[in-house]
Amino acid sequence: MPLTFFDRKKIASFGLVAGLCIVASPCFMPAAHAQKANETEDWALISPAFKNLNPLAKTDPDAAIAGWQQIYTTRKVMAPVTGSIVFAQIANIYNSAGDKDNALSIYDEGLKLYGKDRGSVELVNGKAAILHDLGKSAEAQALFEERWPVILGAGRSHFGLLEMRGGQALQNYVRILKGKQSAPAAEQALARDKIIALLQRAFAEMPIYLDDRTQGDGNPWSPYGWMYDELITQLLAAERNDEALGWAKVRYMACKFDSEAMDRATRLLGRVWTAREEFPAIRSFARAQEATTTPAAGAPGVDNPLAEVKLPALPEETSKLLQARRQSLLELTQVASPAVSDLKELNSLCILQAAMGDRSTLGLAMKSAKKMITSDTKGEVWPGEVCRVFKAADLSPVRANTFIAYMEGTKGLQNPMPEFIKEHEKPAG
């Protein structure tokens, strides 16, 4: 039977025999519960530990485990995010040594302590990965479903580390749902439908991920925009081509206003148009991006093939989740100085709704971008957010570039924001 967190055997695969027991009891010092967790102080110990203990784990895993345990005993009470990290680091060391039983036991202990907090997403990820490796994919799926509120909390945290971990949880969930490539066709089709539903739900409930830069870290195994890539792969395989093109449009509309993000979105559009054998659309869209004339009344250029593309309505339950998140964000942003992160998330949701045909939401998005000025006084975020909304409306960078020129003081240009808001306050159609 696996031992507890503070009463671990040495890792036998490394030829070590003596037992390690820093604290005789597995209990997490109940007398210290009155002490309040301080995440900042936790990080002061954890940050250098990553540099020192992780390399040590390759040569002396028991010493690395002892180091992580010592951090925990020193802190006595840790915040859920940092406490989960300590448990996950120790479990990873056992897993790397091939001791999956003890690794799972560590994950379970951590989940008992922190499992209701969004910080435990690290533990959910780790445990699910081991279950999958052990051929227990059904248990891994059940874990993700049970802990969906944890993933949701991480994706809505507006804390970079947790947002990344939430994205990784979604990526692992998809990997497990895919199963084996050799599975029967009916089984693959069922998995495909589950993946499509999962990613659509994730976008509706965690609209921060609609910006492709939030979906990965740019590495080959976690590229920017992997959620869009995966969703469209599954939609094309299911011959749901209109939806595939609609989601490719969403990626272009919602991506950050910079050349790299827009290039990634354009390549995806090209992929979908190629799959549909609509080759002229690829060149027409490129011409629309190169145009220098501001579209009249904020309408897309007549030659832009995206102008008539509409994302089909989401499933009813997913649509309800989207509306609930929109209402929540509207309430969060009705304060004197709303958080920039809440405003950005609201904008992403408005852009998604615009892609489904309700262009009036873009007026709300522009107002939201304008509100950022009160919190983003240095102008580090809000100008780019204004440009993102212009791009989403025009389906090209034309008016966004005009706005940049206006901000730089180019003579003869007026602020296009007020007119844009006026244009989009009326319901579509």
Per-residue pLDDT of 404-413, as tens digits, reads 999 999 999 9
pLDDT for residue 376: 85
Residue 12 pLDDT > 60: no
- Residue 429 within a domain: no
Q: What is the distance between the alpha carbons of residues 37 and 42, in angstroms, rounded to a whole number?
A: 8
- Residue 164 within a domain: no
Measured CA to CA in angstroms, residue 191 lies from 124, 175, 201, 341 at distances of: 21, 10, 15, 33
pLDDT for residue 266: 97
Neighbours of 130 (CB within 10 A): 19
- Residue 351 within a domain: yes
- Residue 296 within a domain: no
Dihedral Cα 117, 122, 127, 133, nearest 10 deg: 150
- Residue 136 within a domain: no
On average, the pLDDT of the chain sits at 87
- Residue 394 within a domain: yes
Of the pLDDT bands very low, low, confident and very high (cuts 50, 70, 90), residue 7 is low
Of the pLDDT bands very low, low, confident and very high (cuts 50, 70, 90), residue 55 is very high
Which of 95-109, 288-302, 395-409 is least confident?
288-302
pLDDT for residue 159: 92
Q: What is the distance between the alpha carbons of residues 403 and 124, in angstroms, rounded to a whole number?
A: 44
Average pLDDT rounded to a whole number, residues 48-63: 92
- Residue 48 within a domain: no
Which of 151-165, 175-189, 338-352 is least confident?
175-189
Q: What is the distance between the alpha carbons of residues 72 and 355, in angstroms, rounded to a whole number?
A: 48
Q: What is the distance between the alpha carbons of residues 3 and 18, in angstroms, rounded to a whole number?
A: 14
Phi, psi of 348 (to 5 degrees): -60, -40
pLDDT for residue 203: 96
- Residue in 58, 49, 46 with CA at minimum distance from that of residue 84: 46
Of the pLDDT bands very low, low, confident and very high (cuts 50, 70, 90), residue 62 is very high
Average pLDDT rounded to a whole number, residues 158-165: 92
- Residue 174 within a domain: no
Average pLDDT rounded to a whole number, residues 348-372: 93
pLDDT for residue 33: 39
Q: What's the domain count of the chain?
A: 1
Of the pLDDT bands very low, low, confident and very high (cuts 50, 70, 90), residue 16 is very low
Helix boundaries (H) for 207-339 = 226-237, 241-254, 259-275, 279-290, 316-332
pTM of the model: 0.87
Where in the sequence is the domain holding 334, given as residue range(s)?
Answer: 328-424
At 92-114, the pLDDT tens digits run: 999 999 999 999 999 999 999 99
